[in-house]
Amino acid sequence: MKQPLIKALLGLAIVMLMAVGPGAPAKAADVICYNCPPQWADWASMLKAIKADLGYDIPFDNKNSGQALSQLLAEKANPVADIVYYGVNFGMKAKTLDVLEPYKPKGWDEVPAGLKDADGAWTTIHSGTLGLFVNKDALGGKPVPACWKDLLKPDYKGMVGYLDPSSAAVGYVGVVAVNNSLGGNENNFTPAIEFFKGLKKNDAIVPKQTSYARVVSGEIPILFDYDFNAYRAKYTEKGNFAFVIPCEGTVVFPYVVSLVKNAPDKEKAKKVLDYLLSDKGQAIWTNAYLRPARPIELPPAVKAKFLPDSDYARAKSVDWAKMESVQKGFTDRYLAEVR
């Protein structure tokens, strides 16, 4: 009895395959983006728009920049990802490690020279200003800190968080911001080392992953983070949130995308990269309080939600190529002297 049934089922399967035919289109594979987390830079809205306009499903991915690069290296012989998003310093590293394929998305010519690799290995899609993302309700009545040095006060013991600078791009950006603002430079990270030693004594919280939700919940009252995350919380979450550009100063940091070398879905990946730099894509970033890479003005309604230009005057650009070249030296000191 079983054999006739099996034969009948096999026959039905063959008939169905013949009906479909060898040339029938299969379901499009997802484009894989490493380090595209929904709670960071509002990738959730961007990926939803890509699905609506291009028809591509791109799964959320919660790696940080360092983890994304490590995964690309581990998979170099057999890539899984199609595109990767990370801090500019990791884009520079990825190019030297030969895991990227040059590609200049549509709109690439309008991105300023300092915000893109000349060969197209990485291209900035937006930038953010680093500062303090504060949950005011979680401060227990204490004032919102105004300066980096305020964070070393006993009042803020156990309240300050920063992402691990040995792994996450935003962690290292925080280091550069503190170091430059407190008198250091690319040849002298001692001000930052001493500062982070002080934070450790003050029971700093040091996660490896994006921690937006932990600030919103009040678990981390003060986090080294970008303006775009703080504004998102301030204007979309229930609670009382603030963004602070410290009195000593800070830095502006570009985030970039790349095409992965030997990407499984290269042509689809190129269309996604084109979309990120398109007028519509850049507008989506501005709606998420990000500075677009192309010279597109922030809509007045969005700009009105930012801190005044006088505060942003304390935010400086730095030579991230130099900062990338000295990153390992800082990381070694951090691991030996702080962590």
What does 269-317 look like in DSSP terms, one character per residue?
A: HHHHHHHHHSHHHHHHHHHTTPEESSS-PPPHHHHTTSPPHHHHTTEE-
**Which pLDDT score, from 0 to 100, does residue 22 have?**
35
Cα–Cα distance, 85 to 69 (Å, whole number): 10
Pair 329, 146: CB distance under 8 Å: no
Cα–Cα distance, 165 to 106 (Å, whole number): 33
Q: How far is CA 324 from the centre of its chain?
A: 16
Q: Which two tokens stand for residue 240?
A: 């009382």
C-alpha dihedral, 242 to 214 to 223 to 141, nearest 10°: 60
Instruction: Measure Cα distances from 202 to 155, 222, 333 in Å.
Output: 9, 13, 19
CATH number for the domain running over 128-252+311-337: 3.40.190.10
Cα–Cα distance, 306 to 134 (Å, whole number): 15
CATH superfamily of 33-127+254-307: Periplasmic binding protein-like II (3.40.190.10)
**Which pLDDT score, from 0 to 100, does residue 14 have?**
36
Residues of the chain with CATH 3.40.190.10: 33-127+254-307, 128-252+311-337
**Which pLDDT score, from 0 to 100, does residue 151 have?**
98
pTM of the model: 0.83
Cα 175-179-182 angle, rounded to 5 deg: 140
**Which pLDDT score, from 0 to 100, does residue 25 have?**
32
**Which pLDDT score, from 0 to 100, does residue 9 have?**
41
Q: Which residues of the chain have pLDDT under 70?
A: 1-29
> Which candidate, 107, 34, 93, places its Cα nearest to that of 271?
107
